[in-house]
Structures are given as C-alpha cells and as structure tokens.
Amino acid sequence: MATIRYQKNPATAEAPWVRRTLLGVGLSFFVLFLLLPLVAVFSEALRKGWDVYIAALIEPDALSAVKLTLIAALIAVPLNLVFGVSAAWAVAKHDFRGKQLLITFIDLPFSVSPVVAGLSYILLFGAQGWFGTWLQAHDLKIIFAVPGIVLATVFITFPFVARELIPLMQAQGRDEEEAATVLGASGWQTFWAVTLPNVKWGLLYGVILCNARAMGEFGAVSVVSGRIRGQTNTLPLHVEILYNEYQFAAAFAVASLLALLALVTLVLKQFVEWRAGQARKEIQ
Amino acid sequence: MGFTLFYLSLIVLIPLSAVFFKSFSNGTEAFWVAATSPRVMASYKLSFGTSLLAALINLVFGLILAWSLVRYEFPGRKIVDALIDLPFALPTAVAGIALTALYAGNGWLGQYLEPLGIKVAFTPLGILVALIFIGLPFVVRTVQPVLEDMQTELEEAAASLGAHRWQTFRLVLLPMLMPALLTGFALAFARAVGEYGSVIFIAGNLPMVSEITPLMIISKLEQYDYVGATAIAAVMLMFSFVLLLAINGLQAWSARRNGEK
C-alpha cells in the first residue's frame, strides 16, 4: 500500500500520538458532519415503519415528482453532454483569443447562487420579463411550468461535463489528432476515432456528477417552479412541501430516495475512477 | 466553436446580464436603496460571516482529512474517501432536513447540546453547520491530489538537515500546499455564500438574525418586488465574478507551482 510507504520512512512519518490525534480529529469530523446526516435520513424515514415509508413513495404526487425529476435530468444531461464535449474540444484542441475568458464563463454557474440563476430566468420569461408579453400572446408558459424547471436545471448542471473534459483533453495534447489528420482522417473521423475514446472515462464521470446535480437541484428550481403539486414539483421540492406540512416521515421517505441516488452516484463514480486508473496503467 | 458560444450565451450570459439591466432599470438611486436596506445589510453580514467561518473550519479539518487519507492506513479508508463527496451528490434539501433533524432540540445531537445551552438548529450556528457540510469536499478534493503527487525527497532532505517534523511541515510542506488550500477555501466560500437549499431548513429564517441573502431574494420575489430582488442578486453576482476571477488566478498559480518541481 502506498500509505504504508510514508509511515515506514522515518523522514515522512509522524510520532504515533500525532498520527492518532490527527486521525481521531479527522474521522470524528467526518462522522459528525458527513456520516451522521446520512444515517439520520434513513432512520427518520423508517421511524414509522415500512408501511408509512412505502405509502409516501407510491402516493400520486410523489410519483409525478419522480417523473418530472427524471424528465428534467433526461433533457439537461444530454444537452450539457453535447455542450461539454464541444466546449472542451474547442478549448483544448484549438487556439483563439479570449480562451481564458471562455473558461471563466463556463465556470460561472458553479459560483453563481442557484437562487440568482432562477431569478434571471424569471426576468427573461416571467410575466413582466423581456419575453413575457410575447410568450403570453402565444400562450406559452415557461416560468411556473415544466420548461422553466428544465432551463434552471440546464443552467445549474452546465459546467459539469466541460469542467471534467477540458483538463483531460489539454493533458493529452494534440499529437494523436495531428497524426490522424496527416493520415487523411476528416475532422469528424478524428473526433470519433481518436479524441472521444481517449476521454470516455472522464466523460462518464462528468455525466454521473451532472446527473446527480440535475436530479437534486433545489434553489434554482424552487424559484421558477411555482410548486404546483402533481405538475411542477420535483423530488427535492416535494421533500420541502412535505416537511413544511409537518409530514416528517413522508418527507424523509422521499429524501431517502434521493439519498439512495446519491449513494449510487458515489459507487458509480468510484467504479469509473477505478476503471480510468486501469486504463491509464494499460497505456503505460 | 460557434455552437459553444451560442449555447453559452443562451443559457448563461443572456439570463445573467438580464439581472444587471433590470437592477438598474429604475435608476441607481432605487438600486442603492434596495441593495442596502437594513434587513438586507444584516443578511450580507450573516451570509458572508458564516460562509467565511465555515470555509476556515473546512480549511483546517479538510487538510487534516486529506492528510489522513493520503498518509495513513486505517480500516474503512476507501469508504471514507468515497463518502467525502457525499455533499456533492446529496441534494441540498435532503442535507438540510437531515441536519435539522440531528440538531433540533429532540434530535440525536441536539438533545445533548441543548442542556449545555448550545442551540444549533434555528440559529446562525445551524447555518454554520450546514455550510460546513456543503463546503468540506471542496477543500479535501483540491488538497488531496497535490499531497498524493508530492515527492518524499524534500521531506527526507529536511529531516536529514535536522528539521523537526513540525518544522518540515510548516516550512516545506505547507508552502507547497498553499495554492491548493487557498483554492479549496475560495471554492468552499463561494459555494457557501450562494447556498440556499440546505440552509433554509436549519436557519429558522428570523429577519435580522438568521436570514441569509439568497433567502432575501426569494422573499422579495414572493412580494413581487422584482427591483429589490434583482438589486440583491446583482450584488451577489458581482461578488461571484470577483471570487471566480480570484479562483482562476489561484489555480493558475497552483499549476505554476506544481510545474516548477
């Protein structure tokens, strides 16, 4: 194990009491702030027994929330996947002015508050927004309807794939692409046969994170949703409504569904990291 | 390339520029009044203060956790390593109600803290707890790879020259970790300031006491006060810009540092 190497070498090892203290402090912090909240979700969800738990999940409003969450993710993830690949391709394999600025703009949704993101869509498409009158005249509804939720989700998950791919593609350089071009491959052929296979694990990694965020987004979606039960309620919003109505067991039951999703995400992520590591070893 | 710019403008740039245009549509006077009312000022103080404190706490404990994961062998290390990312994967609303359940007066932790006179849920302390949860992986995940790539030769050289372990850490390791630490700190801070979902459940949301800035935007929106909401949003947006530029600068610095070796 790599970790043992450090402790066998007197120059990089700490005194046992220092090691134990650091481990103790770090792990206590981990248990207190990360593990306990996770355990609490499942324990609260099952507090009133399995019947209440199942009932909360198969109730029509919950099912329609599941459906809307899936729809939003199914639209947002592929859109941002295509964008992420093309943005990373543009940034890593080409030179142009303002590249750094472009990267900064791609990162923007990470540092903008989700609430501000939701608000900006209201300003554009809301009843008093820039396109509000036009939308009303054509009987189109974006805010307080499904399209608004999808848009907010797209905004929030915008950088995930691009962020994962840009450093990966930059590290790989352009040698292989240039070789392919010299051998007579077209731009598309080079992309499908050379660039894409090289980044497939990073791509998958980005998609997994993107999907988790898309299904779990709360702040941005809550601003544009209007929270119409059975219509514009996603799973996280459904959790909030149940919680504010003091239906704690039901709220935690739905929350446990999202927590399970988070755990699946972490397992998948771990698997992809492991496979990516394997792939790197094969090359070396 | 064209598609990238088009999509970026459509989804991100145009909506965000709408915030700026709208916030100044009633003149700078109205903007200023809305962005600096006492209740809003109190929310800035709370949001920035708790976020800064949470990021500092994460800086210290994140470093300890990253160090333990890279340097020490202990049972369950792989599981701890995987679960560090939980705050990225767990929806914020779920985190919010879980933390509230833990720290409320009758919760697992709250029942022991309350007799000691420490109220966490529904106070600014609760906001701090939620922001620590949200920000922790940022620090661990920026510091961990740098620690893993670090060569042991420098530490060996320091030890052979007679440095104590603490001196080696402070004078050799810490300067090398600094860019990564600051980046993680800034990322955690930026995320904490904008955070909404996990905080509103545990905060109690009392005006002037435990009302965070994103919540102010929501409550203005609910009163159809669009000018007020966008003014606050514009302030937060400017802050995001500045912090993002700082983070990019830090990452460039970090890359240069690691390239030198």
Contacts of B11 in chain A (CB under 8 A): 151, 154-155, 158
Residues in Cβ contact with A96 at an 8 Å cutoff, skipping those fewer than 6 apart: A90, B1
* Cα–Cα separations (whole angstroms), residue B94 to A15, A25, A71, B36: 40, 26, 20, 32
Which pLDDT does position A229 carry in this prediction? 73
Q: Cα distance from B97 to chain A (closest Cα, Å)? A: 8
The residue among A268, A277, A274, A167 whose CA lies nearest residue A208 is A268
Q: Do B190 and A110 touch (CB under 8 A)?
A: yes
Which of A254, A265, A172 lies closest to B86, judged by CA?
Answer: A265
Cβ–Cβ < 8 Å for B65, B147 = no
Predicted local confidence at residue B81, as pLDDT: 92
Instruction: Tell me what the mean pLDDT of segment B40-48 comes to.
Output: 94
- Chain B residue with Cα closest to A88: B4
> Which residues does chain A have within 8 Å of residue B14's beta carbon, measured at their own beta carbons?
124
Longest dimension (CA), chain A: 76
User: Model confidence over B63-115: pLDDT tens digits?
Assistant: 999 999 999 988 989 899 999 999 999 999 999 999 999 998 888 888 888 88
Please report the pLDDT score of residue A284 as a whole number: 64
Task: Please report which confidence band the pLDDT of residue B222 belongs to, taking 50, 70 and 90 as the band edges.
Answer: confident
Q: Pick the residue from chain B with its C-alpha nearest to A100.
A: B248
Using CB atoms and an 8 Å cut-off, which of residues 31-60 of chain B contact chain A? Answer: none
Q: How confident is the model at residue B17 (pLDDT cuts 50, 70, 90)?
A: confident
Predicted pLDDT at B261: 42
DSSP A44-75: HHTTTHHHHHHHHHHSHHHHHHHHHHHHHHHH
Interface predicted TM-score of the whole assembly (ipTM), two decimals: 0.86
**From the first residue on, what is the mean pLDDT of each consecutive set of 10 residues in chain A (284 residues)?**
70 84 92 92 90 89 92 93 90 82 85 91 83 79 86 91 87 84 86 86 90 92 80 89 91 94 92 84 71
Please state, as a whole number, how many other Cβ atoms lie within 10 Å of the Cβ of residue B112: 10
Residue holding tokens 């890593």?
Answer: A92
Give the per-residue pLDDT at A279.
78
What is the Cβ-side half-sphere exposure of residue A193, based on CA atoms within 13 angstroms?
14
Q: How close is the nearest chain A Cα to the Cα of B135, in Å?
A: 11
B84 Cβ under 8 Å from any chain A Cβ: yes
pTM of the model: 0.89
Which two structure tokens, joined as six digits, stand for A260? Answer: 């399970």
Which pLDDT score is estimated for B45? 94
Tell me which residue in A119, A217, A236 faces B217 most closely, judged by beta carbons: A119
Among partner residues A106, A223, A269, which is closest to B218 by beta-carbon distance? A223
Residue B160 pLDDT > 70: yes
What does the pLDDT read at residue B259? Answer: 60
B177-193 confidence digits (pLDDT tens): 998 899 899 999 999 99
Nearest to A122 by CA among A137, A143, A141: A143
* Closest chain A C-alpha to B207 CA, distance in angstroms: 18
